[in-house]
Structure 1
Amino acid sequence: MKTVLEVGGAIIDASTVIPQPLHFVIENGAIQSYALGLYESWGNREPVDVIRRRNRIAMPGLVNTHGHAAMTLLRGAGDDLPLMTWLNERIFPLEDKLTEEAIYWGTQLAAWEMLCSGTTTYTDMYMMMHHAAQAVAESGIRAVLSVGVVGFDEMSRNNGIKRSRAFHQAWHKGASGRITVTLGPHAPYTCPPDYLRELAQLASALDIPAQIHLSETKVEVDNAIHDHGQSPIALAQRVGLLDVPVLAAHCVHVTDADLDILAEYGVHVAHNPQSNLKLGSGIAPLQKMLERGLVVGLGTDGAASNNNLDMFEEMRLAATLHKGVAQDAEVIPASVAFDLATAKGAKACFLGDQHGTLRVGAKADIVLLDAASPHMLPQHNILSDVVYACGADDVRDVFVDGRQVVSEGVPLTIDVERVQREVLRIKEQFQA
């Protein structure tokens, strides 16, 4: 059955804003058409489900290009520490206590938070990912998933390869196409060069991209230069990892030579401004990346280092932070920040042009904002309102693949009371 969605206005993409009533026709999970004015059914005898939200502004769903969903379970467990201390003294010991059911419920919690804050697509690199994928399938969100692998010893290397192959076979293009799978080498400091080379060969054989943390901290870069004589990015190039499509998270401490490598190999970048600031890692040179033509998306990273999954915050921070760094109010205008959070984010995740926009033919991943919110008044510039004023609390309705998953701020696909109970029970197990 076709669905017709009537709204009071829409941001089709970063370059097209329609500040007047229009309607979308949705069928088979995609936008078949949109037109100004309200839907007229004269002469149309086929069944149509009409959803009227005339006090809403429609926009593409936000795309979170880097995160670790089940780390919602570790929110607030290791704050105000630098990255390596945070990892070694707080996060790794807690992760040792995670179980398969914990990953499932942590991912459900993340999906609840993301959907209700307007994120319809996210990336994930973590452990026990079959259970994360099951949560994705049930919640209705769209996801780019990978098994996070490390290569500390022969056993971990072999397990990483085996688990990645099995996960790809089980879930790639799963959940009616909402799940895509990539490889997930954690970082050059956890995956030795020969293992990175092996993983690059596996990515090529499976014909899938890889996502990896690169040059997140100065310590990481200094150690790579000491151990390997080159930066993490140059090392990734040397071992052949960049010969396959790569989404590189962070890229904070990069030289011009590093940026040239990223541009030469068409590496996509996940910019995580809030997590990088909170961990004291630094500020990625976003302006230089965009000047080189790099495809960049925005990400939250995990809730243990952010501490929320609100992409509105990342979008606003990307637009304001780099103005301050450059001391130039014209750097990263609202339209660019919005593009990074939607269409460019989808491209960064290798999802293609049919994502991150409300144009005809695009996947019907749609977020409706409350047009009567104080953040949306008096509407001198709707796009600026969304980037600089709106937040998660302005999200009222959400559709993924044409299916409504949030209505009036309430999730339709997630048992939130059950999630609350299970997450609190898991917290007690951490403290036992």
Structure 2
Amino acid sequence: MTILIKNVTLLPMGKTLEPIENTNIYIEGDSIKHIGDIREDLKVKKTIDASGKVAIPGLVNGHTHISMSLLRNFADDVPLHEWLTQKIWPVEANLTAEDVYWGAMLSIVEMIRSGVTCYSDMYFFMEEVGKATIESGIRGVLSRGTIEEDDEKVNKGKIDYTRQLYKDFHGTGDGRIKVMVAPHAPYTCSPSYLEKLIELADELKTGLHIHLSETKKEVEDSFKLYGKSPIKHVYDLGLFKYPTLAAHCVHISDEDIDILSENSVNVVNNPGSNLKLASGFAPVEKMLNKGVNVALGTDGSSSNNNLNMFEEMNLAALINKPVNESAISIPAIKAIEMATINGAKALSWEREIGSIEEGKKADLILIDMNKPHLCPRHNIVSAIAYSCQASDVETVIVDGKIIMENYEIKTIDVEKVMYNAEKAAHSLVNR
């Protein structure tokens, strides 16, 4: 189907970072055919009058655990280590495939409504997450979070699981799904197990998704065990030879930043989760100045407690200013880059998504600017980073298909999802 979005203000986020007023976007099939004047030679089946609206690339949630929505508001105001070991992991031990499916669907509804068109997930029962992603129409990177256990048979089974997940889902959903290998963290995987997971990434020719240097304790423990930081530790093991998505990177040294930069490691900043768990402030500006690609993520909604990427953009733009004692640290446009094109680069998808340009995939959202909190329209870029709310997203298009229009999701029975997710959540915590 050919779609015309007319009379729109466009923030492309590609070669052009300035808003383009009153333009038109033609979508043909799954791609952007033309941007500019009305073309009489292009016949359209659907026209969207986007007067008073702004088109931006679909947001990329670079690091999350979407089925943890079932544990939203369940374990709050607890330090990270205690939160994981005493609250979250004991409950997650009772997860079923059905739980994960409904948790994934609930989060996908939330992400669509807040303008997220692509996400990178690390969790369990990832075939259920893949199923939910295909059904919903959005784009996702699946990775089975892998924690080493005492049983070697179990550990091998986790590697075999990821291998099968790759075989079953990589490239499915009309190319909307990728699969990566996911060692949970250096503190949950021994060096020998990390090496096996690195070998698996080499075998599958895919990337790795890992938590790195999230807390002071993690870094201190790494120096005690290995005499080096978590980043230097996994670098020495050869992990950075492959495309790497490194979540958090909060407590890192200048040497760590140099390693990240020299090895083209993609970092995902999760300001909301890092604030709530008191993990600290990632040196985002330092990393960007050193050429590190820094994307944005929400983390799981049990440590955030939402999947609102507009909130993450706002936090990224605000937090770094007092931390660096500079009002120009992480300006609005840089925060939007982190949530769009930088996220696409982090997932090795920058040739297809992350900006609105002719020839790229049609993954974009329309923001309704006709709201009191977005008036007056002095500066569109500032409005998006500092004033926009997730609820201002009116239309969502992924792969050229409209999956939300006029705030209504077309691909999911939202009431059914909420009912089943609520039921699954209460059943899970009471097992």
Per the normalisation by structure 2, the TM-score is 0.97
Q: 1:185-196 residue pairs with structure 2 within 5 A?
A: 185-196=183-194
Kept in 2, the 8 Å contact 1:364–1:402? The answer is yes
Q: 1:242-253 residue pairs with structure 2 within 5 A?
A: 242-253=240-251
Please give the alpha-carbon distance, in whole angstroms, between the structure 2 residues aligned to 1:7 and 1:364: 17
SS of residue matched to 2:131: helix
Q: Which residue is equivalent to 2:29? A: 28
Superimposed CA distance per residue, residues 161-208 of structure 1 (whole angstroms, 9 cap, x where no aligned partner): 100100000000110011011111100111110111111111112110
Q: Which residue is equivalent to 2:361? A: 363
> How many percent of aligned residue pairs carry the same amino acid?
43
Kept in 1, the 8 Å contact 2:377–2:383? The answer is yes
Q: Which residue is equivalent to 2:8? A: 8
Most deviating of 420-429 and 290-299: 420-429
Superimposed CA distance per residue, residues 233-265 of structure 1 (whole angstroms, 9 cap, x where no aligned partner): 111011111111111000111111111111121
Please give the alpha-carbon distance, in whole angstroms, between the structure 2 residues aligned to 1:244 and 1:18: 36
Superimposed CA distance per residue, residues 286-324 of structure 1 (whole angstroms, 9 cap, x where no aligned partner): 011011100110000000000000000100110110001
Please give the alpha-carbon distance, in whole angstroms, between the structure 1 residues aligned to 2:163 and 2:144: 9
C-alpha deviation, 1:375, in angstroms: 2.9
Q: Which residue is equivalent to 2:209? A: 211
SS of residue matched to 1:65: strand
Q: 1:71-86 residue pairs with structure 2 within 5 A?
A: 71-86=68-83
C-alpha deviation, 1:355, in angstroms: 1.1
C-alpha deviation, 1:40, in angstroms: 5.4
Q: 1:273-292 residue pairs with structure 2 within 5 A?
A: 273-292=271-290
Amino acid at match of 2:82: T
Kept in 2, the 8 Å contact 1:405–1:412? The answer is yes
Stretches of structure 2 that go unaligned for 5 or more consecutive residues are none
Please give the alpha-carbon distance, in whole angstroms, between the structure 2 residues aligned to 1:8 and 1:262: 39
Q: Which residue is equivalent to 2:430? A: 431
1:406 aligns with 2:404: yes
Amino acid at match of 1:104: Y
Q: Which residue is equivalent to 1:91? A: 88
Amino acid at match of 1:321: I
C-alpha deviation, 1:19, in angstroms: 4.8
Amino acid at match of 1:74: L
Please give the alpha-carbon distance, in whole angstroms, between the structure 2 residues aligned to 1:92 and 1:7: 50
SS of residue matched to 1:355: coil
SS of residue matched to 2:174: coil
Q: Which residue is equivalent to 1:121? A: 118
Q: Which residue is equivalent to 1:349? A: 347
Amino acid at match of 2:53: R
Kept in 2, the 8 Å contact 1:150–1:156? The answer is no
Please give the alpha-carbon distance, in whole angstroms, between the structure 2 residues aligned to 1:159 and 1:71: 23
Please give the alpha-carbon distance, in whole angstroms, between the structure 1 residues aligned to 2:274 and 2:88: 16
Kept in 1, the 8 Å contact 2:119–2:139? The answer is yes
Please give the alpha-carbon distance, in whole angstroms, between the structure 2 residues aligned to 1:278 and 1:179: 30
Q: 1:16-55 residue pairs with structure 2 within 5 A?
A: 16-36=17-37, 39=38, 41=40, 46=43, 48-55=45-52
Q: Which residue is equivalent to 2:195? A: 197
Amino acid at match of 2:172: G
1:133 aligns with 2:134: no
Amino acid at match of 1:108: M
How many positions carry a matched residue from both structures? Answer: 428
Alpha carbons of structure 1 residues 408 and 133: separation in structure 2 relative to 1, 3 Å: same
Kept in 1, the 8 Å contact 2:4–2:44? The answer is no
Please give the alpha-carbon distance, in whole angstroms, between the structure 1 residues aligned to 2:10 and 2:317: 21
SS of residue matched to 2:52: strand
Root mean square deviation of aligned Cα: 1.3
Please give the alpha-carbon distance, in whole angstroms, between the structure 1 residues aligned to 2:426 and 2:115: 30
